[in-house]
Amino acid sequence: MCTLLNWLTAHPLRVALAVAVLIFMHAPVMLVLGGGLLILCFLSQGRQALVWPIGLSVALVWLLELLLRERTPFSLISGESVSPPWEWTIALALVGAISLSYGRSWGTVLGTQCLLSGAGYLLLRYLAPAALAIEGERITELLQQIWHAAEINTMPPPVIEAHLVAAMYGTLVGLTAILCLIVGRYWQSLLFNPGGFGAEFQRLQLPLWVLLPLCLLYGAAVMAPQSHYDWLLILFPTLWIASAALAHGMVAAGQLSSAWLVLHYILIMLTPLPAMVALALDSQLNFRQRLARRWQATDGNIQGSPTERPNHHSDTEI
């Protein structure tokens, strides 16, 4: 993996061609890999990467989409396209990379990503209603077919409205951007600081200026789900990543079983409430630091305790 990354990043044209092919596939996994490669170039090369690898990659993708798919960056607003714009994902990931390069914490980066995802959700909701309505009708028809095939008669299929599609797009773009940032940072650690990303990610903690609005929005979404359910979707990527960092950090600090990680991921998929409560408590109690101190104290006691009682009597004494 390191050999391939070194070979790709050695020349801007290789990066541009690889990223253009990955993004042009329009698959979320390929977009994460392409975005992660761009983030790696920015974190390792600095501002000069904005011109050659990143700028050239974006230009190549625009050219391919214009020639082969007749898509422009404004196709979603005009109603010609119903797919979420990949430009939004790359822009959010680059904002996070710039924040990291200036020494900002991962908690601040996650808060910024959540804020920008919410702003993008509002822009999509009011600037692209036609495309969102078309996509909502398509998803509703697909759900009706699934309901009919499964013979579900206990409840009618849900109707996906335009505002919910905008929230789904905002969630998908926000989560993809964060994953691009994580992949790029992991690759940078793999090349220049092996093992450094794991310790950095496990220290992730949301600051209060991020955590308090998240708690308020989550409470509003729980009490009035019909009018605030969109924001619950927008908050999910930040809650998921922050709670995953907390879970992995606690398991590493306390030398706990990996079964706790399985339990965490099951709970976060069922309801985000335990994750929200854990993050709020961790901001004041710092579970990871407490577990680390407890483990060090326990380990020190074990190492300092005598395993055998010394025998001061000689073999000849009775």
Q: Predicted confidence band at 312 (pLDDT cuts at 50, 70, 90)? A: very low
In three state form, how does the secondary structure of the chain look? CHHHHHHHHCCHHHHHHHHHHHHHCCCHHHHHHHHHHHHHHHHHHHHHHHCCHHHHHHHHHHHHHHHHCCCCCCHHHHCCCCCCCHHHHHHHHHHHHHHHHCCCCHHHHHHHHHHHHHHHHHHHHHHCHHHHHHHHHHHHHHHHHHHHHHCCCCCCCCCCCHHHHHHHHHHHHHHHHHHHHHHHHHHHHHHHCCCHHHHHHHCCCCCHHHHHHHHHHHHHHHHCHHHHHHHHHHHHHHHHHHHHHHHHHHHHHHCCCCHHHHHHHHHHHHCCHHHHHHHHHHHHHCHHHHHHHHHHHHHHHHHHCCCCCCCCCCCCCC
| Percentage with pLDDT > 90 across the chain | 30
Q: Residues 232-241: pLDDT tens digits? A: 888 889 989 9
In whole angstroms, give the CA distance from residue 61 to residue 296: 52
Q: Predicted confidence band at 183 (pLDDT cuts at 50, 70, 90)? A: very high
Does the CA dihedral 48-49-55-56 come out positive or negative? positive
In whole angstroms, give the CA distance from residue 145 to residue 165: 19
Model pLDDT, residue 225: 65
Q: Predicted confidence band at 304 (pLDDT cuts at 50, 70, 90)? A: low
In whole angstroms, give the CA distance from residue 166 to residue 61: 24
**Least confident piece of the model among 15-19, 46-50, 101-105, 221-225:** 221-225
Model pLDDT, residue 81: 60
Q: Residues 146-174: pLDDT tens digits? A: 888 887 777 788 888 888 898 998 899 99
In whole angstroms, give the CA distance from residue 117 to residue 92: 8
Q: Is the pLDDT of residue 308 over 70?
A: no
In whole angstroms, give the CA distance from residue 46 to residue 97: 10
Cα 2 to chain center, whole Å?
23
Q: Is the pLDDT of residue 18 over 50?
A: yes
Q: Residues 241-265: pLDDT tens digits? A: 999 999 999 998 888 888 999 999 9
Q: Predicted confidence band at 29 (pLDDT cuts at 50, 70, 90)? A: very high
In whole angstroms, give the CA distance from residue 217 to residue 161: 21
Residues 6+ apart with CB under 8 A from 133: 162
Model pLDDT, residue 311: 46
Model pLDDT, residue 26: 82
Q: What type of residue is 263? A: L
When the pLDDT of each residue in the chain is averaged and rounded to a whole number, the result is: 84
Cα–Cα–Cα angle for 42, 48, 62, nearest 5°? 75
In whole angstroms, give the CA distance from residue 245 to residue 223: 27
Model pLDDT, residue 314: 39
